[in-house]
Amino acid sequence: MSVKTFYSEAYNCEGYGVDTREKARDIAMSLITNPIEGLEICAPQPATEEQFRLAHSVQYTMGIFQGRPEAAADRNGLGPWSRDLSNSVLHSTGGVVAAATTAFATGKNAGSLSSGIHHARKNFGAGFCTANGLIISARVLLAQGAQRVVIVDLDAHCGGGTASLIKTGEGIEQVDVSVSAFDSYESRANAQLTMSNGERYLDDIRAALKSIVDPSSIDVVLYNAGMDPHENCNTGGVDGITTFDLYQREKMVFHWAAEAKVPVAFVLAGGYSGSRLSRAELVDLHRLTLQAAVEFDGWC
């Protein structure tokens, strides 16, 4: 059986000037010209209003779905609301939900070529993030009978939006290793933040994974696999974190989950092309996550 990876042309939305809403198409194209054996591209359903409200307020949900009230619609973390943006957010969020529910239903790794979008809050978007697909998906899984969902967030930046949304005792935990203080928060029982750097990066991730108690009791790991820690990424990157390190990181995460027999639902997260990182190089970095997802699927 293959690793189902969700993608829709509707994920993409130009005109906002960020890779977050544009790079999925390039990754999907690369999978046509250079397929990864064992990876299957599937189309997701867009997220519903009911799902959106699992993480967001009624006002903000109306703003994103309908463009009204305007004040709520424009607090999307990217720029002025448009129908295209709304469509892109709903499909890419639906992709995260589809990856999570597929992983839960099949016990196999699954993913989406969209992002977890970890800076989004209950009432507004922030840092290029409109909808918190990680929390929405985790709560969809809880409603389907999951008891324990662990979000592993290895984006360069901290997942403060996600942390702000996790309620005590609801069955969601976050383990977060970041190299940029943007959106940082104080660690607590269900949201543990480690600040790392280019020297300790893989050791810190190993320790963070080891700190997760009884991993075999996790129903699904939601993995926010940001590539922005890379030393050539202008937004979030730090010296000393190389392509090799990030591939080691991906293998470490999927190996850890496979050993515990827990499926991983992975999403792309940060990674920005710029003067030192071309879009093609960025695509290759995100492909490392897809390769590791396939390599360790059904490994144990």
Kindly state the smallest distance separating residue 253's Cβ from Zn ion, in Å. Answer: 16
Task: Report d(CA 160, CA 186) in Å as an integer.
Answer: 9
16-20 contact pairs (CB < 8 A, 24+): 16/78, 16/79, 16/85, 18/78, 18/128, 18/272, 19/271, 19/272, 19/273, 19/279, 19/282, 20/115, 20/117, 20/128, 20/129, 20/270
Residue 51 vs 114, nearer CB to Zn ion: 114
Closest chain position to Zn ion (CB)? 270
Candidates 16-24, 205-213, 221-229, 288-296 — which segment interacts with Zn ion by CB under 5 A?
221-229
Q: Which is nearer to Zn ion, 26 or 155 (CB)?
A: 155
CA 155 to chain CA centroid, nearest Å: 8
Binding flags for Zn ion, 229-248, as an x/- string (CB under 5 A): -------x------------
Complex with Zn ion: residue 234 or 278, whichever CB lies closer: 234
List the strands of the sheet with 191-195, edge to edge. 39-42, 3-6, 110-112, 264-267, 220-224, 149-153, 172-178, 191-195
| Stretch of 32-40, 68-76, 77-85, 224-232 lying at the interface with Zn ion (CB under 5 A) | 224-232
* Cβ contact 223:253 at 8 Å: yes
Tokens of 292: 């590791």
Q: Which of residues 255-284 bind Zn ion (CB under 5 A)?
A: 270
Give the torsion through C-alpha atoms of 29, 35, 36, 37, to 10 deg: 150
- Tell which residue, 272, 57, 249, has the closest CA to residue 153: 249
As measured in angstroms, the least distance from the Cβ of 151 to Zn ion is 14
- Distance between first and last Cα of the chain: 15
The site for Zn ion, by CB under 5 A, has a size of 7
Nearest approach in angstroms of CB 269 to Zn ion is 6
Tell whether residue 228 is a contact of Zn ion (CB under 5 A).
yes
Question: With binding defined as CB under 5 A, does residue 119 bind Zn ion?
Answer: no
Which range binds Zn ion by CB under 5 A, 95-103, 228-236, 246-254, 289-297?
228-236
Minimum distance between the CB of residue 189 and Zn ion, rounded to whole angstroms?
Answer: 24
Q: Is 156 in the site for Zn ion (CB under 5 A)?
A: yes
Among 155, 219, 250, 297, binds Zn ion (CB under 5 A): 155
Cβ nearer to Zn ion, comparing 155 with 297: 155
Quote the DSSP letter at residue 179: S
Query: 191 pairs with which residues across the strands?
Result: 174, 188
Least distance to Zn ion from the beta carbon of 143, Å?
28
Q: Which is nearer to Zn ion, 177 or 262 (CB)?
A: 177
Structure token digits, residue 221: 């790991």
Q: Is the dihedral of CA 88, 90, 96, 98 positive or negative?
A: negative
- Residues in touch with Zn ion (CB under 5 A): 155-157, 226, 228, 236, 270
